[in-house]
């Protein structure tokens, strides 16, 4: 009985290991990942990017101010996210 259980355990390990080995990624060095976009290409003109960055930095600054005010007012942690969202919208 002991040999049978050892044999079953070994068989189970072999069954579980076989699909993992069969699906292992192959090394194909001539294939580059396909992303659909060249990584060195910019997607927006310089002026548009500067406007987007300025807008994002303004939102970040406002969010930081709202976080500081929530901390100063000692808003509970679970209610802080909603407080910050309301503060940023106003």
Whole-prediction pTM value?
0.50
83 assigned to some structural domain: yes
70 assigned to some structural domain: yes
Kindly report, residue by residue over 25-82, the tens digit of the pLDDT.
555 556 666 666 666 666 778 888 899 999 999 999 999 999 999 999 999 999 999 9
For 48, the domain range is 44-90
27 assigned to some structural domain: no
33 assigned to some structural domain: no
Number of domains in the chain: 1
Kindly report, residue by residue over 13-28, the tens digit of the pLDDT.
877 776 655 555 555 5
Do the Cβ atoms of 69 and 87 come closer than 8 Å? yes
49 assigned to some structural domain: yes
C-alpha 78/C-alpha 65 separation (Å) is 18
């Amino acid at each position: 009985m002991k040999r049978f259980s050892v044999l079953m355990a070994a068989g189970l390990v072999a069954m579980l290991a076989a699909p993992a080995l069969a699906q292992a990624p192959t090394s194909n060095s001539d294939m580059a990942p396909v992303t659909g976009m060249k990584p060195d290409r910019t997607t927006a003109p310089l002026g548009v990017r500067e406007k987007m960055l300025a807008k994002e930095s303004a939102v970040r600054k406002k969010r930081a101010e709202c976080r500081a005010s929530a901390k100063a007012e000692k808003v509970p942690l679970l209610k802080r996210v909603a407080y910050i969202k309301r503060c940023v919208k106003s």
